[in-house]
Amino acid sequence: MVPISRRDLLASLLVLPTVLRADNDWVPLFDGHTLNGWTAGESKNSFRVREGQIAADGPRSHLFYTGKVRNADFKNFELKADVLARPGANSGIYFHTKLQSGWPEKGFEVQINNTQPGDANYRERKKTGSLYGVRNVYKALVNDNEWFELHVLVRGKQAQVWLNGVLLVDYVEPDPPVTASDAPGRVLDRGTFALQCHDPNSKVLFRNILVRPLPDDLPTPSAERPVVDDVYRELLRLSAGNFPVVDYHVHLKGGLTLEDALRESRRLGIQYGVAVNCGLGFTVTNDAAAEEYLRNMKGQPVFVAMQGEGREWVKLFSKETIAKFDYAFTDAMTFTDDNGKRLRLWIEDEVGEIKDQQRFMDMCVDRILGVLNHEPIDIYVNPTFLPKVIAPEYDRLWTPERIARVIDAAKRNDVAVEINNTYRIPSAAFIKAAKQAGIKFSFGTNNTDRKLGRIEYCLEMVKQCGLTWQDIFVPRPEGEKPVQRR
């Protein structure tokens, strides 16, 4: 019997969790000691084994599984891996791919990216857990320097992704498959797995890489295959093109539950920002209620927003509490008119007859400027809304001068403008002028019931106004929110 050294004993203990987890029909793809069964497509030096982990650290390269398990050919399977990303890392786990050099042209990538900043030319919007370019997650749900588990399940034409046990992706491939123009190989088929080393500044660790092969003849669990129409194709195009495909203005009302919203988000590939109404006469009127709402939403795969109601909301909440939300927004649909009457513009009886439309418009613009200049918001929503009695005169009343005044205030205060799917506002003329001024835009529904739609008007305006991914709003990081800057 060959004696074992203390050093070798310690090394064996470091990889013991991998062995213990490989029970039942789960099979380890990494032995914890070597890269046996793995082949680098480019730089071999980008992958090393350190303390029972695969370290991706070096020039761009991909490490493909080429071992004996199923001869490295998987159709239906479950895959689990523990991952740790260092600050600024960008990486991924590929499936249904094949050994090659360069960026894998075949298969899908499950994204790993919590805080990767990108550069002036390209800022990656897709976060950890995304099915890259197909079903994206735009909010970082795990922290750098902390281990997390990615879990992928493929059965037939369905691919699901979990992050720390939370289902983020539930993609069902159309029949026939539809892919982005620059990614024809993103088709559920069969192939092997790969780990990505994105660049020398990206450092990621992998451990406990386990697979559970499933029978090739498993059917797709869901009988509902998506209907491919122009909206489906445009959502896919934007998802592949780095647009943040997020509806930032969703309310849990009219019977819509959070689980309903999450299910719809996974089905459509649109992430949601769920907003709570905060102000006088609403359920959330102070810091304590707002903090309770935040606790209840903690860990959910949605953005969490504060919608300020009325002009009093800024006095009801502290800067510290407002800053804990991913973003804050409001509109100018509630205000006190020149005669001291409180108006809610969507309620016809409160608005009444408008005898002098021009004077009324001047007052509305004045109130909008007050919101943009003095309220600590990220997004101005329901923009250019007009009461029903004068809404047919929208193009005449929203003159270039009035549009310019609103855009100037939004730009000066670094406030994004919502493209609202329900009201179909603002107009293309407004959006084109705002884009020229460098304004950012968000997509929003502002639903009053369970129906969320597919941000159809937003997609229409993207094409008509020539919006790019750089024009679309993303929530600001801690320390850079409006309430913290004013």
Q: What pLDDT was estimated at residue 238?
A: 97
Q: How many other C-beta atoms can be found within 10 angstroms of the C-beta atom of residue 132?
A: 20
Half-sphere exposure of 122 (CA within 13 A, CB side): 5
In the predicted model, what is the mean pLDDT of residues 47-56? 97
Residue 161 lies in a domain: yes
Same domain, 287 and 195: no
Same domain, 43 and 155: yes
Same domain, 372 and 455: yes
Q: How many other C-beta atoms can be found within 10 angstroms of the C-beta atom of residue 217?
A: 8
Query: What residues contact 92, with CB distance under 8 A and at least 6 apart?
Result: 109, 110, 111, 112, 132, 195, 196, 198
Residue 13 lies in a domain: no
Q: What pLDDT was estimated at residue 148?
A: 98
Name the nearest CA neighbour of 426 among 382, 362, 471.
382
User: For residue range 309-338, what is the model confidence (pLDDT) as tens digits?
Assistant: 999 999 999 999 999 999 999 999 999 999
Name the nearest CA neighbour of 220 among 267, 136, 286, 159.
159
3-class SS at 157?
A: coil
Phi–psi pair at 433, nearest 5 degrees? -65, -40
Give the integer Cα–Cα distance in Å for 209 and 194: 11
Burial of 54 (0-12, 13-18, 19+ CB in 10 A): buried
Give the integer Cα–Cα distance in Å for 41 and 111: 19
Same domain, 166 and 61: yes
Sign of the alpha-carbon dihedral angle for 332, 337, 342, 344: negative
Name the nearest CA neighbour of 413 among 372, 381, 382.
372
Range of the domain at 54: 21-214
3-class SS at 28?
A: strand
The token duo for 183 is: 């990614």
Residue 323 lies in a domain: yes
Residue 59 lies in a domain: yes
> Distance between alpha carbon 279 and the CA centroid of its chain, in Å?
27
CA angle, residues 370, 376, 377, in degrees to nearest 5: 95
Choose the final residue of a domain: 214, 232, 254. Answer: 214
Query: What residues contact 285, with CB distance under 8 A and at least 6 apart?
Result: 278, 279, 316
Give the integer Cα–Cα distance in Å for 337 and 133: 47
Same domain, 152 and 260: no
User: For residue range 254-301, what is the model confidence (pLDDT) as tens digits?
Assistant: 999 999 999 999 999 999 999 999 999 999 999 999 999 999 999 999
Asked if 58 and 45 count as a contact pair (C-beta separation under 8 A), the reply is yes
Q: What's the CATH number where 462 sits? A: 3.20.20.140
Its pTM stands at 0.93
Name the nearest CA neighbour of 53 among 69, 34, 70, 67.
34
Asked if 84 and 163 count as a contact pair (C-beta separation under 8 A), the reply is no
Give the integer Cα–Cα distance in Å for 261 and 450: 9
The single-letter DSSP state of residue 391 is: G
Q: Categorize the per-residue pLDDT at 1 as very low, low, confident or very high, splitting at 50, 70 and 90.
A: very low
User: For residue range 189-246, what is the model confidence (pLDDT) as tens digits?
Assistant: 999 999 999 988 899 999 999 999 999 999 999 767 899 999 999 999 999 999 999 9
Q: What residue has token string 């470091």?
A: 14
> Residue by residue, what is the 3-state secondary structure of 93-129?
EEEEECCCCCCCCCCEEEEECCCCCCCCCCCCCCCCC
Same domain, 184 and 254: no
Q: Categorize the per-residue pLDDT at 450 as very low, low, confident or very high, splitting at 50, 70 and 90.
A: very high
The single-letter DSSP state of residue 171 is: E
Q: Categorize the per-residue pLDDT at 455 as very low, low, confident or very high, splitting at 50, 70 and 90.
A: very high
Same domain, 145 and 279: no
CA angle, residues 103, 104, 110, in degrees to nearest 5: 100
Same domain, 337 and 460: yes
Q: What pLDDT was estimated at residue 116?
A: 85
Identify any residues that bridge with 159 across adjacent strands, giving them in sequence order. Answer: 154, 171
Name the nearest CA neighbour of 216 among 254, 190, 185.
190
Residue 423 lies in a domain: yes
Residue 234 lies in a domain: no
The token duo for 152 is: 């992928």
Q: What pLDDT was estimated at residue 223?
A: 65
Residue 228 lies in a domain: no
Q: What's the CATH number where 200 sits? A: 2.60.120.560
Same domain, 173 and 258: no
Residue 310 lies in a domain: yes
Number of domains within the chain: 2
Same domain, 115 and 166: yes
Choose the final residue of a domain: 161, 193, 214. Answer: 214
Q: Categorize the per-residue pLDDT at 122 as very low, low, confident or very high, splitting at 50, 70 and 90.
A: confident
Same domain, 73 and 199: yes
Give the integer Cα–Cα distance in Å for 334 and 354: 16
Same domain, 322 and 463: yes
Give the integer Cα–Cα distance in Å for 417 and 431: 9
